[in-house]
Structure 1
């Protein structure tokens, strides 16, 4: 059977593949919604501090460890998705993450919790995280940026859904029962959805798309290994800057509001929900933009927004609530944008057939940015006594990002023949 006939007869969920593939996006969103609960850790901190009689620094340890293992396992998993299969990888990650939550409900001290939640649950998140994006990218060769961006909305908006849910469960049943319930629910949900996550046949394309063109674009002829191109190193640096700036801003959103703008702590906390909306909505938008414009232009746009946000906060004063809200909406917006821009740019700039492995390597930039971003702003606050000085380096890094993006985020000459976008 040739590829054209195969495209016409292939079905998903009882529908022609061109229509059924759209159902994979909400399923991927649900998987990432469950995994993204790791970003709702602030809801668990106070109850755990009371339960385990620990301080604020100690209560942050499980979350920090989880981020490290999440960022470490995701790149490694990328090398095995094609070999082991999307269903098994998703099921394994979901099972490990769920078991981590369940075991955390029995933890009696912070060291055990750092292992059960940080190491085990964090590893599960890292293992399963990349699979829904790979599935969306493979099923949507014609709209890969939009599809990937929509899928990872689940991870970005997870705190909006899971944080209120977790708080309600904690109020009703306590912290231990909440971790147990979430672990069981996440395990069941991800295991069930994993059964539906599969990749299309090699060379598949939607009906009506020029199959021969798709094969040509996917062909490995004369395309250098990603690590042999300067565009990889440029993308890695740009992604690291975007993650570092964005995660720094996320970490200080509430204290900046209270210390610089001097607004009510309750209002400061509730404003995070607004920021999360911008973080989620930017993902499909930047995925769509990266489908249509060269990555260097989209990346430059994020850095311009970061510079604007940084200038706003450098000049922010007490009572300027609107300035604060606009600036931090932009910071969160750009971070969400990079989480769609980077995977789509990886598809655009390098061999699409190696996407799982390639994006796993590129994602290490996010891990480095996460580690630096969680400590830099706090260190600056300790040194200078105010968070205002944290926004000078964010503006400086954005300028560096513009320079790197405009000079490196383009295909090498050997890759130019595979697309009309440069």
Structure 2
């Protein structure tokens, strides 16, 4: 069963190369998390080289990107099963690169939203699930850890990309639009190159000396297609908990800087010190977003998806309560709480794909996880709406964490009662 060779090595060793490929691919794909560095230059006046647009307008490409990303994950999920991971990744990688390159030729925010938000976002939606599906199939014994490491690059991408993007934008010979072009060329080359080796193991392959154990994985030996999956209560429990997890995490990403300003102003920090401290904190938050994926992936392997999900919501509840009750003027509590929220966003991007493979099998994984992933888009929209509405009505971000506490408690309840294996 284990005689396959991978990259010239025994499959048990060579399969780790697929994790590395996926991690590197996700560093390119996760560049969307650094989009904020483009917003300032685009908002500048025409005389200063910008488009003289509002903050709401400059955020359109990012919002459309996330929505298209989630939509294409659902629509194109079956491509991995039909074409195989390599061909699907080549298509997605091409769209990502072309979308970034065309963005550099945009003459206004509408064209940038189409090129970046729709074309590049759609490409990410197609390619994102390819290395995840490959890792899940090559690691039936360590699904959570392998998937978590694969997607870690997406969370860490901002750390890598922000300095590069900033340097390019600040270079008068390149600028914001030039940065889109050059990065698009680089992403296109890297993604196409890294897509070529992607392949799934032969059907039925298992690592030497390992056999599935129901009590250890928390799952049952089933392979459900999408139609069968949506007839189970487990699917709706997973979709609901994933929505709540993404809502809390993506909301934290969206308000990290303005809420941090709120906290530091209340604590009496001057403007210059605030800017330096917040920049450092947000960079550290990105690390927590990245490492949350392998940590919670490993925990999912060890504790089961249900117990790991409940633990995640307990942490979100504790972090939100800490902020709401005692954090109004405490930079230390702000840093601790937001580190936990970022950690758990990363965590859910490992818990959910691992749970999908564990509960519903890997045979139809691409199509199944594509549907599950729509909760990411819903969570992003609800999180932004919730934080925006509460800020508008109370003139503060702190009250946002009261409903988040309630949602986290609901997440614990759903996890414990309904997030369980499907009976074969």
TM (norm. structure 2) is 0.92
Counterpart pick for 2:235 among 207, 232, 236: 232
**Cα contact 1:309–1:327 (8 A) shared by 2:** yes
SS in 1 for 2:15: helix
CA contact (8 A) 1:260 1:388 kept: no
Q: CA shift at 1:56, angstroms?
A: 1.0
Structure-2 residue corresponding to 1:420:
none
**1:264-294, Cα deviation, whole Å (9 max, x unpaired):** 1332132111111111111111111111212
Which residue of structure 1 aligns with residue 47 of structure 2?
none
| Cα distance in structure 2, aligned partners of 1:290 and 1:211 | 15
1:194-247: CA deviation from partner (whole Å, max 9, x where unpaired): 11111111111122224999xx975659x9921121111111110000001111
After superposition, where does 1:102-121 map in structure 2 within 5 Å? 102-121=101-120
The reply to whether residue 265 of structure 1 matches residue 259 of structure 2 is no
Cα distance in structure 2, aligned partners of 1:137 and 1:202: 13
Q: Does 1:129 align with 2:128?
A: yes
The CA deviation string for residues 336-389 of structure 1, in whole angstroms up to 9 with x for no partner, is 111100111111212332222211111111111011112210110001111111
Secondary structure at the aligned position of 1:225 is classed as helix
Q: Where does residue 404 of structure 1 map in the other structure?
A: 414
Give the alignment partner of residue 255 of structure 1, picking from 254, 258, 275: 258
Matching residue within 283, 291, 302 for 2:312: 302
Q: Within 2, Cα distance between the matches of 1:317 and 1:261? A: 11
TM-score when normalising by structure 1: 0.92
From 20, 31, 40, give the equivalent of 1:37: 31
Q: Structure 2 stretches of 5 or more lacking a match?
A: 45-49
Give matches, 1:198-217, under 5 Å: 198-210=199-211
Superposed displacement of residue 260, structure 1: 2.7
Q: Where in structure 1 do 4 or more consecutive aligned residues deviate above 3 Å?
A: 210-213, 216-221, 316-319
* Alignment size in residue pairs: 406
Asked if the contact 1:260/1:316 (under 8 Å) is kept, the reply is: no
Aligned to 1:418: none
C-alpha distance in 2, partners of 1:403/1:212?
A: 26
Q: Does 1:193 align with 2:194?
A: yes
CA contact 2:103–2:116 (8 Å) conserved in 1: yes
Please state if 1:283 is matched with 2:282: no
Matched position secondary structure for 2:385: helix
Preserved CA contact (<8 Å) 2:223 2:364: no
Per the alignment, residue 323 of structure 1 pairs with 333
Cα distance in 2 for residues equivalent to 1:89 and 1:126:
11
1:340 paired residue number? 350
Equivalents in 2 of 1:360, 1:350: separation in Å?
A: 13
8 Å CA contact 1:44–1:175 kept in 2: the answer is yes
Distance 1:98 1:227, change over 3 A: same
Structure 1 residues 208, 43: closer, same or farther in 2, change over 3 A? same
Structure 1 CA distance for aligned equivalents of residues 193 and 96 of structure 2: 15
RMSD: 2.0
Residues 151-186 of structure 1: per-residue CA shift (max 9 Å, x gap): 000101010101111111112221122111100000
1:399 shift after superposition: 0.7
Do residues 24 (structure 1) and 18 (structure 2) align? yes
Secondary structure at 1:141 match in 2? coil
Q: Is the alpha carbon distance of 1:363 and 1:110 closer, same or farther for their aligned partners in structure 2, counting shifts above 3 Å?
A: same
Deviation at 1:80?
1.7
